[in-house]
């Protein structure tokens, strides 16, 4: 696969982490997206691919890779008419994990959606739509109100930091709370897909179903807006997936999530299910600085803890290597596992400041949000239309002759046949630009 994404910034530990994310992807994306290349699994686990998909689509041209693998998913789903994506694809003879489970099964919806966002190919979306619809309509085992049946097995917030070493699925957030949140989110994605493909009646049905399931979720998992579990994952999913109806409840939830993070001393409290949503949930409530503090932590559990332990790839557990230098004795202790590297999607969009505003990068959002002690960053992406790049930095010149350059600087490059909306940080206005090279300067915005 061709490399398509780059990132670097003033924080060398974060740069090393980003390189580790890339190396874990390179070590696992060989024919199928294996979860780890070095132990007896080496299988195409679907939950890992779900969480990491957007990051993978930025780092490399994954279009053909995913197209082949999703063809395999659809083939496995049709065996015996179950319409259940196995937990890993392809299956291993005499070791069939065709059990209906959220996130792992939801890759049949989120995978095609992420591919379409990255590459903008409606033909590919049309081909993959059948597996998405089959999973939502047939594969999921539901209770009487349409949420997940409570007797089903769920991986839940797999490997959250407080899960016991010998029980990686015993997380602090209820497994079916996680499953129901993802069900609602993926129903919304399926409605969006149907609309794009011109199936407007079907899209309306799924939008209505999403609204109804949201009400059922609130009845099952909220009391006066408070989540049943007071965890980072529960609140991050509810905020990021839009599961609050009233602004007052959303505002209270935002305050609660920030409080949970402070109480945890800005350490990570999420597993596979919550990690990819946490940063975006905090951005959505104007708490980006909180996530910067979490991202740049070096104590366990954190992303940079692995780096100061001299990791060269990302780990399966937050503490695969314990602070005393010994290997975690529990299950699921891999030193090359890309799932928690899903945070790189936030890094590219928030620190780097670029994201697709329309499928296939036909339009681009440029909105860097500097924070904490990061004073400059460079990001570039080879889109289907050409290179999109940003570079930003602060200047604080003491020499009077150079004082006019003090403040925040941003350089943006947009390829032909593409437009971008550029939003300057620090409450700056949004400007629409066409292809070309642009320089922006805010002399009033000084380094944080």
> What residues are labeled active site?
41, 316
**Pairing mode, if any, of strands 419-423 and 363-366?**
parallel
Residue 292 to residue 98: CA distance in whole angstroms: 39
- Residue 8 CB burial class (10 angstroms; 0-12, 13-18, ≥19): middle
Distance between alpha carbon 388 and the CA centroid of its chain, in Å?
A: 21
Neighbours of 162 (CB within 10 A): 15
Q: Alpha-carbon Rg of the chain, whole angstroms?
A: 22
Report which of 232, 222, 225, 217 is spatially closest to residue 183, judged by C-alpha positions: 217
- Residue 263 CB burial class (10 angstroms; 0-12, 13-18, ≥19): exposed
Range 234-251 burial, b when 16+ CB lie within 10 A, else e: bbbbbbbbebbeeeebbe
Report which of 170, 159, 175, 89 is spatially closest to residue 333, judged by C-alpha positions: 159
């Amino acid at each position: 696969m061709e490399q398509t994404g780059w990132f670097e910034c003033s924080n060398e530990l974060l740069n090393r982490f980003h390189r580790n994310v890339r190396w874990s992807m390179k070590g696992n994306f060989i024919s199928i997206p294996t979860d780890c290349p070095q132990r007896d699994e080496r299988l195409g686990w679907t939950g890992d691919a779900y969480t990491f998909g957007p990051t993978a689509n930025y780092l490399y041209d994954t279009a053909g890779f995913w197209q082949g693998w999703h063809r395999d998913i659809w083939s496995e789903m049709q065996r015996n008419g179950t319409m259940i994506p196995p937990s890993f694809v392809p299956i291993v003879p005499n070791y069939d994990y065709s059990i209906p489970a959220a996130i792992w099964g939801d890759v049949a919806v989120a995978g095609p959606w992420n591919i379409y966002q990255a590459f903008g190919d409606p033909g590919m979306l049309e081909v993959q739509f059948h597996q998405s619809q089959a999973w939502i309509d047939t594969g999921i085992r539901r209770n009487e109100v349409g949420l997940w049946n409570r007797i089903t097995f769920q991986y839940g917030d797999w490997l959250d930091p407080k899960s016991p070493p010998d029980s990686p699925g015993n997380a602090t957030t209820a497994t079916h709370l996680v499953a129901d949140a993802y069900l609602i989110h993926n129903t919304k994605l399926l409605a969006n897909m149907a609309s794009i493909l011109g199936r407007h009646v079907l899209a309306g049905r799924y939008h209505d179903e999403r609204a109804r399931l949201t009400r059922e979720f609130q009845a099952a998992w909220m009391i006066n807006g408070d989540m049943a579990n007071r965890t980072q994952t529960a609140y991050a999913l509810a905020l990021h997936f839009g599961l609050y109806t009233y602004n007052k409840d959303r505002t209270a939830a935002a305050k609660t999530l920030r409080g949970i993070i402070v109480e945890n001393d800005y350490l990570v409290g999420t597993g596979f299910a919550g990690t990819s949503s946490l940063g975006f949930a905090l951005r959505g409530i104007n708490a980006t600085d909180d996530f910067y503090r979490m991202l740049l932590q070096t104590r366990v559990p954190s992303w940079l803890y692995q780096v100061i332990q001299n990791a060269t790839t990302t780990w399966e557990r937050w503490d695969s290597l314990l602070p005393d230098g010994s290997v975690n004795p529990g299950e699921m202790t891999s030193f090359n596992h890309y799932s928690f590297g899903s945070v790189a999607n936030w890094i590219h969009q928030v620190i780097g400041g670029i994201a697709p505003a329309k499928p296939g990068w036909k339009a681009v959002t440029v909105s860097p949000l500097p924070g904490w002690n990061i004073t400059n960053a460079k990001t570039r992406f080879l889109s289907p239309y050409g290179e999109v790049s940003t570079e930003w930095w602060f200047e604080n010149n003491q020499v009077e002759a150079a004082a006019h350059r003090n403040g925040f600087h941003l350089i943006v490059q947009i390829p032909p046949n593409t437009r971008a909306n550029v939003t300057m940080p620090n409450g700056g206005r949004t400007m629409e630009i066409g292809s070309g090279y642009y320089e922006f300067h805010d002399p009033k915005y000084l380094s944080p």
